Structure 1
């Protein structure tokens, strides 16, 4: 029997992530300005809808943690993809903010379940392949952002917000078809645990947890309001065009950061990525103009997936119990807090919100700087060789696979 090409699996996982995250979660960003001007949505209500989506994401993420069987279920993947497309198509059917909130909360839950199934599938089926393959699969998030942003950019001049939602639902449906046969993690599989040696890593994990939670707060403000902020001081096409650039920059970012992680300590890369992202978020609030907006988009798109990859891999390297679960929970809570914190500032436009978000990401960088102090870069790792046998290695945990932290959990 011929072994299927790993690129087939990469493509299917990328399509699932593009639908679940790039479209289902982030298409709201370029549609938000249209809903402000055409559907009468206030800035505060827009922030509340964003929060509803992030609460739903936390619910889905916790479900995947508490019920591991969900991660290995093709039915959960397919059902979540269908529900997600349905919530997108239903958005234009009402003007009720309460109904919109329920739809966005449901979409967030579906997005999280799609993510955990796709991530588990990648870790299981691509475990023995080069790390950049998983990175390219996670680039599907960026591809979904770029495709949905391009769709809204084209439609904004010829149609309205309703059509934008219906078109995004159609795009999610096409991506669902491409991801339909994605093989989840084998239900019978068991992941080889890491070394049972108890390392005193609490201080470093605490710094990592704080950094990643703050990143959740800061990045989501830009991820929600960047298009609207740019659109306030630039021609209408610039905001949507910038969001397309965010997606395009994100496509190769996880794979590139994974490669860099084999040459430089992840703690150094995490600090650098946070500093670059802070600059990218602050730029549109400090300097106007089309060029600034586009540079901001590239810097943000090139870092937000990389930061997640680096943070989770660092948690695995520390072998802290349930590191992925804890980091994901902190990140999700940060995403809920972000829009709520900046909501009072939105009455005066988006500049203050972006500046606050940049400061929060800078605070995350400070925590990442603390993380670097005395960090145990080389820890003994137990790697599987053959069934029933294990071998030890002193390479960085997760260095072979940028997503190894999930398997370590």
Structure 2
């Protein structure tokens, strides 16, 4: 129970930091820095660039040289400094540099907290969802605080960066108190395979994992529309306290996290992942049909579906990856799937979503959101069809040894 509490606290702070500034980022940039849709998408792209570097940072360092909790602490201290500076900039260019450096430090920590958690669990498939839900609680608390303090309506969203910086600094210090999680390969001479993360890439030799990897990349293209523009959409259609309403998605996430072990056991990996992708398409359709008046219930239902979208794909995918990868490359494998989702997929999605949102800008400065949301809905349907036709839930294939 003591270890469970310590891991839960780690996950709470990890996602509190992310939710404290990322949810309202689009609105902050549009209102306070007068950014365009393409610039907003470019700011969210910093997440993807950080995620692309994550497998190399985590795979080389955490799997080979230094204990994971120490790397986690150092990266969060760096992230805290850059987040604080980002909120003090008055031009998009300066903000982008600070945000990019913050995300390069932060994104590898997503794989690190997973790796630390999995290494301390006897049965990650059963135990991880119960600990991971505290990460969701952290995101909820951040959103509710923003709504309660009225920072959106009062145009004080620069304060979200101060809150995020404080949370990141707290986790940076706390990480050094966590139990030692040494690398599997400590004392071994690093090879070219280690530096390039090729052992984790070898997982893609399996058809089942390759299809899962490709689907992870593709489904994150429509996901970028949600991350980048939902808060701006809610504020534009007149929803008061939008960040608070968005926490409905995290409340549902908690419920489905608790049900995840049962879902995986009863439905299997393929059907669980497919439900998550189908929920993405449905969410965007609900956003397209809803409004802030008589059809607000549709918007709320779309927000609640976030729990299905996230848990049934991201969390289930993390568990599937941990089950599939050999012990010696599990940290690198978690970094690899972060690269596929938060890296390559969201990078493409950010490059696509910004110009599309700009294309539907009206003369009064608002957007034709119904047209905007139907595009990612169609993309999610296409990805789901590809996945259901191509994925086979095969047994894990052995990763080649360094001598092979």
**Global fold match (TM > 0.5):** yes
Kindly state the Cα deviation for residue 149 of structure 1 after the two structures are TM-superposed.
1.5
Name whichever of 210-219 and 180-189 sits farther off.
180-189
- With normalisation by structure 1, the TM-score equals 0.78
Distance in 1 (alpha carbons) for counterparts of 2:339 and 2:207: 18
Give yes or no for the alignment of 1:231 onto 2:231.
no
Q: For 1:211, what is the secondary structure of its paired residue?
A: helix
Return the offset for 1:9: 3.1
Aligned to 1:11: 8
Hey, what does 2:381 align to over in structure 1?
Answer: 362
Tell me which of the two structures has the higher relative contact order, counting C-alpha pairs closer than 8 angstroms and 6 or more residues apart. 2
Distance 1:178 1:208 in 2: 34
RMSD in angstroms over aligned alpha carbons?
3.1
1:212 CA drift (Å): 1.1
Residue 291 of structure 1: how far off its partner (Å): 1.7
- CA distance in 1 between counterparts of 2:315 and 2:65 reads 22
Alignment partner of 2:183 out of 187, 206, 209: 187
Deviation at 1:21, TM superposition (A): 3.9
* Structure 1 segment 7-406 matched on structure 2, within 5 A: 7-19=4-16, 21-23=18-20, 27-67=21-61, 68-69=63-64, 72-126=67-121, 128-129=122-123, 131-153=125-147, 154-156=149-151, 157-158=153-154, 160-176=156-172, 179-187=175-183, 202-237=206-241, 239-289=242-292, 290-315=296-321, 324=334, 326-331=336-341, 332-347=343-358, 348=360, 349=367, 350-372=369-391, 375-376=393-394, 379=395
**Number of residue pairs matched by the alignment:** 364
Q: Distance in 2 between matches of 1:142 and 1:200?
A: 30
- TM-score, scaled to structure 2: 0.79
Partner-residue secondary structure (3-state), 1:93: coil
Conserved 8 A contact 1:10-1:137: yes
TM-aligned CA distance change 1:179 to 1:281, over 3 Å: farther
Structure 2 stretches of 5 or more lacking a match? 187-201, 361-366, 399-404
Question: Residue 302 of structure 1: SS of its match in structure 2?
Answer: helix
Q: Does the aligned pair in 1 maintain the 2:69–2:180 contact within 8 Å?
A: yes
What's the CA shift for 1:70? 6.3
Q: 1:176 to 1:160 in 2, by over 3 A?
A: same
Deviation of 1:353 after TM superposition, in Å, equals 3.9
User: Match of 2:189?
Assistant: none
CA distance in 1, matches of 2:64, 2:28: 40
Q: Aligned-pair distance for 1:122? A: 0.8
Do 1:229 and 1:351's aligned partners in 2 also have CA atoms closer than 8 Å?
no
Structure 1: gaps (5+ residues): 191-197, 383-409
